[in-house]
Amino acid sequence: MEQQQSSFKEKERTDLREPRRFKVIIYNDDFTTMEFVVKILTTVFYKSTAEAEALMMQVHKSQSAVVGIYTYDIAQSKVQKATRMARSEGFPLRLTVAPEEE
């Protein structure tokens, strides 16, 4: 049996990099309750109660806080889930995704 020569050349990729990271930012508003913000931080972002309460107070005092750094898809998914939860409860809670500074 003859062996056929493949017309495809295998290319070795050597420029592999870590995926870009994105921060999720939560913003303060006058309507979303502190308890609901803690609930979002514990259920969507898996923060401990103590960490969630500290972040909630940071948002309250500074108008915003970074709640986590993720790959783009995960950051977007978490923002969408938190926003859906907020809207279903009638809260205008706002979260955004922004590239992490390097």
**In this model, does residue 13 exceed pLDDT 80?**
no
10: pLDDT confidence band, cut at 50, 70 and 90? confident
Our CA dihedral for 21, 22, 24, 27, rounded to 10 degrees, sits at: 140
Tell me the domains of the chain and their CATH numbers: 30-99 (3.30.1390.10)
Spatial separation of the C-alpha atoms in residues 83 and 77, rounded to whole Å? 10
**In this model, does residue 33 exceed pLDDT 90?**
yes
Q: Do the Cβ atoms of 55 and 47 come closer than 8 Å?
A: yes
> What pLDDT, on the 0 to 100 scale, is given for residue 60?
93
How many C-beta atoms surround the C-beta of residue 64 within 10 A?
A: 14
